[in-house]
Amino acid sequence: MASLKRISEMPSDLHEVYFTFGVIAEKAQVMETEAGNVALAYITAFVDTNNVTPEMTEWYKQLLDDINSKTFGTLFRAIKRSIQINDSILAIVAEALDKRNYVTHRFFRHHNFAIHSEEGRREMIDDLIEAGKKFDLAHAVLEGMSSGLLQIAGRSAADFGMEEAKKLVARGKCVKI
């Protein structure tokens, strides 16, 4: 639709569909990043950071690259194999994963002609908002898992430091986590 009409000629609710899709896609990526944080927290929870050798540093860099290259589904399956997780938590994350795949790969195809009517666009927005709620819940669960693993190891996410976070925000660049 966007390629057929000039953006300025689009109805405002169509802008809202695309805006909402962007917000929800970002939520999905944040959720996916948190799954990576769970994996990292699990792997590094019991590492003495004061005694990391150059070889270990290289191994961690490779591990980070590996985690960053995995899809959410692949990463989630690896986490499930490594950590015993409560069934209700698994169900929350699995449902969010299904919704993430739907939004990413099938959302516009599923709604097909709905985009051409006000009622259809409203349904699209509502569908995206529901997906976002699932992403928020899964993100909270995953964040709790990574925080819990760090607490067990005597560390916290706060160890990262607000000053470092402020520097990254000020740079405003893509930072590989």
Per-residue pLDDT of the chain (177 residues; tens, 9 = 90+): 445 567 778 889 999 999 999 999 999 999 999 998 888 888 777 777 677 788 887 887 887 788 878 888 888 888 888 788 899 999 999 999 999 999 999 999 999 999 999 999 999 999 999 999 999 999 999 999 988 888 887 776 665 555 555 554 555 545 454
pLDDT of residue 140: 96
The pTM for the full model equals 0.79
pLDDT of residue 20: 98
Q: How many domains does the chain have?
A: 1
pLDDT of residue 134: 98
Domain membership of residue 5 (yes or no) is: no
The string over 6-43, giving b where at least 16 C-beta atoms fall within 10 Å of a residue's C-beta and e elsewhere, is: eeeeeeebbeebeebbeebbebbeebbebbbbbbbbbe
Domain that holds residue 60: 12-171
pLDDT of residue 169: 54
Domain membership of residue 1 (yes or no) is: no
pLDDT of residue 1: 46
How far apart CA 132 and CA 21 sit, in angstroms, is 9
Domain membership of residue 124 (yes or no) is: yes
Domain membership of residue 61 (yes or no) is: yes
Domain membership of residue 7 (yes or no) is: no
- Torsion sign, CA atoms 169, 170, 172, 176: negative
Please name which of 35, 30, 33, 44 lies closest in space to residue 149, comparing C-alpha atoms. Answer: 44
Domain membership of residue 77 (yes or no) is: yes
pLDDT of residue 167: 56
Burial category of 105 from C-beta neighbours within 10 Å (exposed 0-12, middle 13-18, buried 19 and up): exposed
pLDDT of residue 69: 81
pLDDT of residue 177: 47
